[in-house]
Chains A and B, each alone.
Chain A
């Protein structure tokens, strides 16, 4: 396993240099070069020894998000009801990077009364973000003043919410202990839709990055449902684990054998990944609505009633796409999305990892753990050459041994 990995790495490297040359000659597209570099860096991913995110939360960090506009600000929400924003570019050039908190919303009068379940940046602008909490509210925040701009009260524990990164409709889909999925309109500050269909608590909800009106949701009733919010009978189908030819909304269709608590669309919107308490991860083809039957093995551990979203790396031609799964055994499992093979197991966290987020520009992953910490996982910096590393790399066998 290990030797294979090293071989593939050397192969990658030689291929990269030759690719560089080919790109120079114009024989290959720049995107191929980019893809190979991305792939290489992803394979080198490890706990970044030089980066420390300052600890601010006094309880588990439940959710983190990095804004897409600049890829600079990290938003974190904790079980203590606090929300903090970190500037990731602070001291970027320094040897030992300490990422400090730049702003925070404490549990003040306008803030959340309960633990934060999910924070999301507004996809188009980092001047606004939304947060959902177990105190049954969803709040919209103004980043500059760190004040609540708008509050939606759902009267039920909110487990997750999602804003479409594609659509112009500005609707927040919510997943709460109410079986109905309610859509909150940012423009009016009111609920626009209520999507009935689930029979249990909805734990996860995601917008498709490809079709602006396509919504996916997973629930404790073991189903994953796809919705078109424009239709009056909005539920398109309930995904079926066994790929039987039953009608799309058949009661018999289940996506997992137990609670579904995580959903993630691939960046191209063609596939959907779902995770459940049956310790399985499933990949669905959204074109056919069928289970691809990809086998991700038995390493996955998932047992908490909680939104647990896997992270999918950006797709690029010429390199495989990876999916990162925050397993309950305090490790991050890195799978090849399409063939389901376990590529790497990232260990080192001392807490259960609750959320992952991707920083596109530097190919870094940030993870939130229930040990109150946020960890940075970056590609191993092979160029870094300092005395400490040299010392650590040295064997110190004494002659007498």
Chain B
């Protein structure tokens, strides 16, 4: 008996696992385990049958599909299982095909699959066992006669059939691969010329822009002409190994240069390296920092603008077209089948070509990026034909990450900023005085239209008025320390008109002296000043009170006489049971918090004063949480709305939370609240480590076009608007009717 129980346990977990995965095919290992258990005794087969029927009755097509597959496995094997299933054959068909007005549960795809599987199983079993098991024959007849199922062209479900299906799939994919390969081969033939051309062109551009070390004339140009930034030029020479390292002034410096000729030249004429470092001795050490971010520092100027333009075009071509293409070819070639013989040779050739192309393209791309040509800077400063708007657009797209590099460059080079457009300004906040940090609060204000009206406070020092080109305003000029401190101390308030006046003691109006009294500012008392009263009023600000309603209104949960809990949801006070306080699942009042969130109410009877005080407190809490700076006007505004109820932050502090806190503090395990459904709880606990099941969640509402539409149409707002429209229409029509009556 104990053995039996064990087997039963094992079977039930296995069958649950198999049917709950929701996969299309069963896990062969698990199926094998089930079979081995069933093989041991008939009782186990019966158990398996019972469990499977339970699973089959679940209202989920995926579970049913898996169960049906397992049933098919066992049906093939066990005589007892056959007897059992045959006795319930109508029910089996009911659950899998949906006869007798028992439609299959969703998801539809799997329901359809289950149906097909069951029909083909029926046909298979009918052929095999039909003469012995009348029920199967009857089921077959039933399907054929009543459901008009066509049994002639069914996909068989046996293993061979499945493997055949797989073979067909493989064949198909092989053919697709072959076709892709052929296409790629043709394309490589066609396009390799173009790509190579392009790469060659870019190579020429690089040659023009970056002097080579073995180029005598270029070297002469470098060393002969005193350049303002000698160091940078040297950096250029140390090109592509973009490693930031300290190099010693002697041979080590040269070590990095692969150019043997240069070494030879040096050893011949300049053994001490005087020419190189302008130092007669190598006892000194010279440290050179190679700029990691911008190893090749070739500036774009009017002279080489043409070259850069060409380079950009080529670069774009490479990035947009050639590189993806080459990568795709590589993919296709790697996946293609290797067939021996001539094709193999051809394949190797193609692969080599593709690899070469890829290398060339990647090289060219990398080089041009080193030169500062990338997708972010598709237009140089000397590009013609790119109109102003486009330029602006490109500027905006510059990422902020380029900022530090830019800074470093600037500090290195001293004064030669921003000719190169690849180093633009980071965007500054538009309003530096008020810095609009309260903007997010302002967004809630319906009267707020945005900060577009703010004028730049600091005049632009540079002659070019383009804001983006302006250099970064120095954040802290000397002598402004006190202002900094003040700013740090200053209260942060959203922008409003009163900020212009907040520190004014008096305000003169109408300085023109033409009129004595002002239309809006009122009649002055002789001194051309706005009256104190008006000024005070101007310093006030309007605040739109935005009450934060609790997202979820808790139920009253007062234990009623019929044993249930009161389901009313009120903000503060249930009209029948008084104040809404947190209660446990039996409706018992939970202990109040020390913060004074709740008054301990033994009974629902509360006299009016207490209640008024409570509401007041709730309102105060709500308004204080709603926003800072709740001055007189705001509180008077909020007082008009007695609605804001319990602050929801307090509602969450239930007994469980307190308990959890205590347990956490003591280092104990968290106590799991007992679940209503024991089975669900068990399921959860059992499978935390398992991969998530592929079962479709049926409890979740389906997101179809219809439901979306319904959500939109059936929403309260739209319904209200419709009823409003109707009301308006009705009233207008009745008005019209009344008008017509007099005609």
Contact = CB atoms under 8 A, between A and B. Distances in A.
A400 B32 contact: yes
12 contacts: A47-B138, A49-B134, A347-B89, A348-B138, A350-B93, A350-B138, A388-B129, A392-B132, A394-B79, A395-B80, A396-B76, A400-B32
A348 B139 CA distance: 8
B98 to A, nearest CB: 13
A238 to B, nearest CB: 37
Contacts of B80: 395
Main secondary structure of the interface of B (DSSP, over half): helix
Contacts of B35: 397, 401
Contacts of A401: 32, 35-36, 39, 77
B352 to A, nearest CB: 48
Nearest to A390: B132
B79 A392 contact: yes
The 5 closest A-B pairs by CB, nearest first: A49-B134, A401-B35, A392-B132, A348-B135, A350-B142
Given A55-B145, A397-B78, A401-B36, A330 B90 contact: yes
Contacts of A347: 87-91, 135
Contacts of A280: none
Interface in B133-175: 133-135, 137-139, 141-142, 145-146
A387 to B, nearest CB: 10
Interface string B495-514: 00000000000000000000
A391 B132 CA distance: 9
Given A347-B89, A392-B132, A401-B36, 18 more contacts: A330-B90, A347-B87, A347-B88, A347-B91, A348-B90, A348-B134, A348-B138, A349-B90, A349-B138, A350-B93, A350-B100, A350-B138, A350-B139, A371-B142, A394-B79, A395-B77, A401-B39, A401-B77
A393 interface: yes
Interface in B48-100: 76-80, 82, 86-91, 93, 99-100
A47 to B, nearest CB: 4
A206 interface: no
Nearest to B33: A401
A350 B77 contact: no
B99 to A, nearest CB: 7
Nearest to A389: B132
Among A47, A372, A373, A391, the one with the most B-chain Cβ atoms within 10 Å of its Cβ is A47
A391 B129 CA distance: 9
Nearest to B78: A395
A48 interface: yes
Contacts of B146: 350, 371
Contacts, number: 73
Contacts of B145: 55, 372
B82 A392 contact: yes
Interface of B: 32, 35-36, 39, 76-80, 82, 86-91, 93, 99-100, 129, 131-135, 137-139, 141-142, 145-146
Given A55-B145, A371-B146, A401-B39, A47 B135 contact: yes
Contacts of A371: 142, 146
A394 B32 CA distance: 19
A49 B142 contact: no
A96 B131 contact: yes
A375 interface: yes
Interface in A328-350: 330, 347-350
B132 A388 contact: yes
Nearest to B35: A401
A372 B90 CA distance: 16
B76 A348 contact: no
A71 B288 CA distance: 118
B234 to A, nearest CB: 75
B90 A350 contact: yes
A389 B311 CA distance: 84
Nearest to B131: A388
Contacts of A349: 90, 138
Interface string A35-50: 0000000000001111
A347 B91 CA distance: 10
A348 B39 contact: no
A189 B32 CA distance: 73
Given A47-B135, A400-B32, A401-B39, A348 B77 contact: no
Contacts of A49: 131-134, 137
Contacts of B90: 330, 347-350
Given A350-B90, A371-B142, A395 B79 contact: yes
